Structure formats: structure tokens, C-alpha cells
Structure 1
Amino acid sequence: MSGGINAHWLMHYRVVTLVNQCRRLIRDEFGVKLTLTDPRLREALNEYAGRSGSTELKRLITQIDEEAGDAMPEDEPGHGSTEQRPARRMYRGQPLPDPPADAGASSESGPEKTIIYRGRRVRGG
């Protein structure tokens, strides 16, 4: 598992709402306060749901798994393909166009740099 906080599964508003409901139930039943910044939050939620007698908590955990996907934080660092190819550049949630294959080749007047302004190619390639 990576050293940093893996909050990828917490990036959906609906999932955060469900997690907060779980945190409230766990706090009421066990007296434990879980934080959203805890890197083991998802594991802790599953542990407390297994020990809990509350069917509501178990239902919420299965709902979180459906909404956020079943990938646990240990699964994410091993994507493999991200190390082989560079990540796609994004601007305002939209992928930027790939630079032309000959963009690195120098011409007689020097390489023309592609400039993208507000998602549109202004100058270059």
C-alpha cells in the first residue's frame, strides 16, 4: 500500500454521505471516531461492520462497495499500465489532444511549440 492517503474511492459525493452515516453508527455503537483522512478508513469500516450487530451498518457498507467499486486501496498501486505510457493530459476534465508525432523534430526555423488556450490549439503543430 502506498504511504499517502488513498482517497480515490471517496471522490463521489454519494459515497462520502454513506461513509458519514457509517461513521455515525460506529461512533454510537463502539464509541470510536473515524476520520475521513485515515488511510485505512475503508478497512476500518469493514472491520466494524463485521463486528457490529447493526443490519443498517452492513447495508450501508454494501452500498458503499457498489457505489465506489470493490477495489481496496491495496489494489490501486499495481495498475502496471500507467508506468508504461504517460498519463493523458487533461484540461477542465477534458483530455487534451495528443501532440503530433513530429512535434519533437526540429525544423529550419526551430521547433514550433503547441500552445493550448482554454482547450483550443492556438499556435503550433
Structure 2
Amino acid sequence: MHYRVVTLVNQCRRLIRDEFGARLSLTDPDLRESLGAYAERSASGELKRLMARINEEAGEPEHKPETDAAPDTAARPPRRMYRGQPLPEPAPPPAAGPDDGSTSDKTVIYRGRRVR
């Protein structure tokens, strides 16, 4: 829930507690339905107005624009980062040769710097 909706819900809970003596919990999964039921039974116009605002605020679907990724960027793995700086691209593995036992030419990155 948004902060505005939470403040409206808390105002409704306060009015319901004053009028009906019922305490509603914010963690109740059916809180919105309970608030609506109490708002229908209430003689308070303020509670009905608050419930209408809650329905306006919370009833709108969260719309986040989706961007279509280009096909070539979807296949590429994300860039590796270290402390906000991009790491260099790893070198492709060398082809297997007759003296494949040496590991000294492997690049090692320690604390963001190339050691070997």
C-alpha cells in the first residue's frame, strides 16, 4: 500500500473504533472488505468519504511501463559490476593446446584491479 492509502486506512480505523468499538488490524488480509462493511453500516459521512478515497487510491492498478528489450540485448548477460564500476569483460577461454597445464596467464581481479 502507498503511504497515502495507509493514512486513510488509519483514519478509517480510528473512526470505526470510535463508532463501533471494533479494532481492525492492518495485517488483516480482509481489511479492505471489513472497512467497506463498517462504512456501509456507519452513520458517519466522513467514514464513507474516506472509504471512497481509499477505493480511488488503491483501486487503480499499479501501471509501470514495460520496455521491450531488443533481441540482441536479451541474449547478452548483464554487465558485471564491482562497487559501481563495470568489470572488464572476461577473455574467451583459449583453445586446448599441447601445453594446457599453465594457469599463470589467467586474469585475477582483486578489489577491482587486475593482479595478473
Measure the CA separation in 2 of the matches of 1:61 and 1:118.
46
Query: Rg larger in 1 or in 2?
Result: 2
Question: What is the count of residue pairs matched by the alignment?
Answer: 84
Percent of aligned pairs with the same residue? Answer: 57
User: Match for residue 100 of structure 1?
Assistant: 73
User: Match for residue 37 of structure 1?
Assistant: 27
Contact 1:26–1:32 at 8 Å: present in 2 too?
yes
User: Match for residue 59 of structure 1?
Assistant: 49
TM-score, reference length from structure 2: 0.58
Query: What's the offset of the Cα at 1:119?
Result: 6.8
Unaligned runs of 5+ residues in structure 2 are 91-116
Measure the CA separation in 1 of the matches of 2:83 and 2:42.
51
TM-score, reference length from structure 1: 0.54
Which of the two has greater helix per residue? Answer: 1
Q: Is 1:24 matched with 2:17? A: no
Q: Which amino acid aligns with 1:69?
A: G
Q: Is 1:115 matched with 2:80? A: yes
Q: CA RMSD in A?
A: 3.3
Measure the CA separation in 1 of the matches of 2:83 and 2:59.
33
